[in-house]
Amino acid sequence: MSEERIKKGIESIIFVSDRPVTVDELLKVFTGLKRSQLTKALAELKTEWEELGRGFRLEEVSGGYRFRTSAEYREEILRFNQSKPFKLSRAALEVLAIVSYKQPVTRIEVDRIRGVDSSGVLGMLLDKELIEVRGREEVPGRPLLYGTTDKFLEVFSLASLNDLPEIKELDELEQSAVEG
């Protein structure tokens, strides 16, 4: 199979998939190919789509590849879908911030950091599959431990947890305040 043929095959798969397509999944489809060949094809596809400069492009999110529209056209799409411009509540964002950095983390810990009861928000985020239960902490009470999901990465357009925004270390904050 020629390189071009492979790329077009991958492209078609990504087009019909309802979630990011991973290299592992492609290996099962293109059984004769090596991982490195697929990775190279994907990287080339991504660049080619970018250079095309269309209304949507190929993005790497949550460890896989998916077609996504450019943020530039959100107005048109929202109008087409007849939805109002949307905001994630600050509470949801704060809980997600804590869970994404401290995972696995218990509800008590989240409550402690925010200073308020966060069970409602946690329940909602669980429901939306942005966080999940990872197990229980082995202490009296065996409270549930939470972590973020792949869906979280996809919704926030992150390729992996390594792409989370930088967080200032607490001592750094104290240091800069003392000097500043």
Partner 1 sequence: MSIDAFEGPLDLLLHLIKTSEVDIYDIPIAPITNQYVRYLDLMGVLNIEVAGEYLVMAAELGLIKSRMLLPREETDGDDETLEDPREELVRRLLEYQRYKDVSEELSRCDLLGRDVFSPPPDDDAVLSSIPQEIEKRDVWALLGAVQDILRRREQSQVPPLSINLEPMSLEEKIVEIDLALRSSGRIDFEELFTQTPTRFVVVITFLAVLELIRSAVVMVYQEMPFSRIELLYVGGAAAE
Least distance (Å) between residue 119 CB and partner 1: 12
Contacts 24+ apart (CB under 8 A), 127-130: 130/96, 130/155
Residues in touch with partner 1 (CB under 8 A): 15, 18-19, 59, 66-71, 74, 77, 81, 83-94, 96-98, 100-101, 113-117, 124, 128-130, 151, 154-158, 164-165, 167-168, 170, 173-174, 177-178
Which strand (E) or helix (H) includes residue 18? none
Least distance (Å) between residue 20 CB and partner 1: 9
Least distance (Å) between residue 73 CB and partner 1: 8
DSSP of 39-98, one letter per residue?
Answer: HHHHHHHHHHHHHHT-SEEEEEETTEEEEEE-GGGHHHHHHHHT-------HHHHHHHHH
Q: Which is nearer to partner 1, 22 or 69 (CB)?
A: 69
Eight-state DSSP code of residue 147: E
Please answer whether residues 68 and 50 qualify as being in contact, where contact means their C-beta atoms are separated by less than 8 angstroms: no
The label of the residue with tokens 């970018």 reads 50
- Tokens of residue 68, six digits: 């996504």
The whole-angstrom separation of Cα 93 and Cα 96 is 5
